[in-house]
Copies of this chain bind each other. A is one copy, B any other.
Amino acid sequence: MKPLILITNDDGIEARGIEFLAKQVASLGDVVVVAPDSPRSGQSCAITVTKTLQLFKVKEEGSVTYYKVTGTPVDCIKLAINDVLHRRPDMILSGINHGSNSGVSTMYSGTMGAAYEGAIIGIPSVGFSLCDHSPSADFTPCAEVVDKVCKAVLKNGLPASVCLNVNVPVGVEIKGIKVCKQAMGYWTEEYNKIVDADNQISYSLTGHFVNTSPKDSTTDEDLLSQGYITIVPTSCDRTATSAISYVENIL
């Protein structure tokens, strides 16, 4: 039996990135796309608990079937596993995201949210992102790494609780692939303040990233800026084991 590959994203079913990804892996197995009906960027691992979800079949194209869901990327994975797929998928892919998900963006990313959900339920999962936010982004630079990573993951699996966060740089000559650490950092000056005619204030998210990791070529942010495709093995076991004795001592 051919491998079953489940694909979602956070840019929504109509994004170029998910279509590119589905076509790129179509030769590796049976592909089912179950994606949000509209953009859900920044949705992290959010799940819909206060309302119901709807699921619609969109189209079949070659060996790829497309569905859309009125929910988040994690909702899409859960609903696909529970009600769309007739067998357990062999691999879950998310993306290709329009825009980077390197560094601590992995915390907010809906793309990575879906990959974490895969890791939670024990299915080898990979999130792919291209460092270009444009809706018309050219995903060609992702082709080789998608092929290489998906074949390796299908063949070998991934360690328990671990999924992969793959980012592909743009505007540089790609030097190769590096498996590395997540850069730490934070966003600053985060909101534009909009005052309307009635003096009502609204806040619009903006801001820029401050990288606090040492510049030592071991983190994804650094390596992306040097022209490498980065792969960070990320875990849904968030225990900071090394901090257990610290906390015991201060209590």
Interface residues, chain A, with chain B CB atoms under 8 Å away: 39, 41-50, 52-55, 72, 74, 78-79, 81-83, 104, 106-108, 113, 116-117, 120-122, 148-149, 152-153, 155-156, 158-162, 164, 177, 179-182, 184, 186-187, 189-191, 193-194, 200-205, 231-244, 246-248, 250-251
A40 to chain B, nearest CB (A): 8
**Residue of B whose beta carbon sits closest to that of A78:** B190
A116 proximity list for chain B (CB < 8 A):
107
Count copies of this chain in the complex.
2
A43 proximity list for chain B (CB < 8 A):
44, 46
**Residue of B whose beta carbon sits closest to that of A107:** B45
**Given the complex of chains A and B, what is the CA–CA distance between A246 and B124 in angstroms?**
13
Q: Are B54 and A49 in contact (CB under 8 A)?
A: no
**Residue of B whose beta carbon sits closest to that of A189:** B82
A47 proximity list for chain B (CB < 8 A):
42, 44, 108, 205
A202 proximity list for chain B (CB < 8 A):
52-54
**Residue of B whose beta carbon sits closest to that of A219:** B239
A231 proximity list for chain B (CB < 8 A):
247, 251
A145 to chain B, nearest CB (A): 9
A181 proximity list for chain B (CB < 8 A):
237, 239, 241, 244
Residues A236 and B104 in contact in the complex (CB < 8 Å), given A42-B46, A205-B47, A246-B159? yes
**Residue of B whose beta carbon sits closest to that of A243:** B233
**Residue of B whose beta carbon sits closest to that of A54:** B202
**Given the complex of chains A and B, what is the CA–CA distance between A203 and B83 in angstroms?**
10
Contact residue among B44, B122, B164, B233 (Cβ-Cβ distance under 8 Å from A46): B44
